[in-house]
Amino acid sequence: MLLYSTSDSGYHRSLEHCVMQSMAPGKGLYMPMSLPKLDEKFFREMKQLSFPELALTLAKSMIGAGVDDTTLKAIIDRAFDFPVVLQPVSSSIDSLELWHGPSLAFKDFGARFMAGLMSHYNQNNDQKLTILVATSGDTGGAVAYGFLGVPGIEVIILYPSGKVSELQEKQLTTLGQNITACEIQGSFDDCQSLVKEAFTDADLNQKYRLSSANSINIARLIPQSFYYFEAYRQWTGSGKWVCSVPSGNFGNLTAGLMAKQMGLPIHHFVAATNVNKVVPDYLESGEYEPRASVSTLSNAMDVGQPSNFVRMMALYQQSWLSLKADLSGFWATDEETKVEMKRVFDNSGYVLDPHGAIGHLALRKYLETHGGSGFFLETAHPAKFLDTVEAALGQTIEIPERLAQLKDRKKEAVGLGSEFGPFKDFLLSR
């Protein structure tokens, strides 16, 4: 598999290089030179496959000779040992539940696949690999669980103080071993900026082998495209099928758009955001204007400068009109989010997390105008946002045991500001 940089289309590198380096010079992100085009035979036969079998078939078609088949199967079998569930919510709307993995969030798919791939590439290197990752909530937990105890790899997680839920924070700060958490006095965008600057710093790159587990790393996006195919494999409907994606850094949506370009028959996508509506505004106006993020109930989507926007534009040859043909934008306030959570629960008994609630609302509004049916991504278990969900529903909800057991664990985190200097000093002093 050969990839190019979004900042220099003539800069080409192997999958191994791109996975281990994460970012290209000039802060470019890597994208595949080409995507496979899947034929009717593939879509007929996929109905008979399990999810790991489907993922292996897709991985082979995307990665090619980049990883041998035996290794790739072992990575996938370990990474995807939990189900993807397409759950009906109403007659025209399904929820794609992506929270059945260890951290109870969709990012388990990308994090566990990436951990396996990085471990494979790193096995003959004597120098430790240091993973830097910024999180607005769920990424950090998924990466922590995905890389926990992996030999030769350490993980440093940066998260914004006071802007993740209590249980999300416990997932980041209580595991120990090769996982270190840094509590940053700032926003997710500040955390993301610190990570990106670290990759361009000569002193840090001299001391460490640095990589990232954010969706800036292509190893996150490749496996996230798989569950869109799994949703289609489980779907029993017909006609125009629409997908609504709760979006923050837009890696999940980019993976879905990649799947569509590979031939997956999703008619249209909806980019669903909270008031951090940079991409919906772009889709309406054609002007891209990143801005400081605003804190909301759907904290994993509190991103004002989404990294993967450049990838989305690369997929569509920088054409606003071409992107608009496949993608609509939608945004919701906190109040609208709470109302939708209560509405869906009262009508169906289905419990949404705040991110899924925006995805559901966006899809419902789209279908009311355009007709058809569709699914939204339920990206995290509602219990990860316990206070918000229970307040919206007016009743208690069950907490999965793997979350409940975190409540009494002691938090351990390094407190830092949002300036790069102290963060660099911390890394160099370790």
Mean pLDDT of 308-320: 96
Distances 366 to 93, 371, 373 between C-alpha atoms, Å: 11, 8, 10
Q: Quote the pLDDT of residue 143.
A: 85
pLDDT of 82 over the 80 cut: yes
| Percent of all residues in the chain with a pLDDT value above 70, rounded to a whole number | 100
In a domain, 12, yes or no: no
Convert the pLDDT of each residue in 135-179 to its tens digit: 877 778 888 888 888 888 899 999 999 888 888 888 889 888 899
Which of 48-52, 73-77, 198-202 is least confident? 198-202
Q: Per the domain annotation, does 55 fall within a domain?
A: no
- Distance separating alpha carbons of residues 35 and 37, to the nearest angstrom: 7
Give me the pLDDT at residue 81, please.
94
**Whole-prediction pTM:** 0.89
Least confident of 151-165, 323-337, 372-386: 151-165
pLDDT at residue 352 in the model? 98
* CATH number (domain holding residue 339): 3.40.50.1100
pLDDT at 212: 81
Specify the 3-state DSSP secondary structure of 116. Answer: helix
Q: Please give the pLDDT value at position 213.
A: 80
pLDDT (tens digit per residue) in 39-74? 999 999 999 999 999 999 999 999 987 789 999 999
Give the type of residue at 144: A
Domain count, the chain: 1
Q: Residue 363's pLDDT is what? A: 98
- Assess whether pLDDT exceeds 80 at residue 4: yes
The answer to whether residue 51 sits within a structural domain is no
Tell me, yes or no, whether 209 lies in a domain: no
The first and second tokens of residue 81, run together, are: 């040992």
> Distance between terminal CA atoms of the chain?
35
Which residues share a beta bridge with 328? 270
Residue 176 within any structural domain of the chain: no
User: Contact, 173 vs 181, CB < 8 A?
Assistant: yes
Using the 8-state DSSP alphabet, how is residue 105 labeled?
A: B
Give residue 122's pLDDT band: very low, low, confident or very high (50, 70, 90).
confident
Q: Which residue has the tokens 């030769």?
A: 152
Whether 115 maps to a domain, the answer reads no
For residue 318 the two structure tokens come to 């920088």
Domain-located, residue 188: no
Which residues contact residue 128 at a Cβ distance below 8 angstroms, ignoring those fewer than 6 apart? 152, 153, 154, 208, 209
Range of the domain at 83: 69-106+220-402
pLDDT of residue 140: 81
39 domain-assigned: no
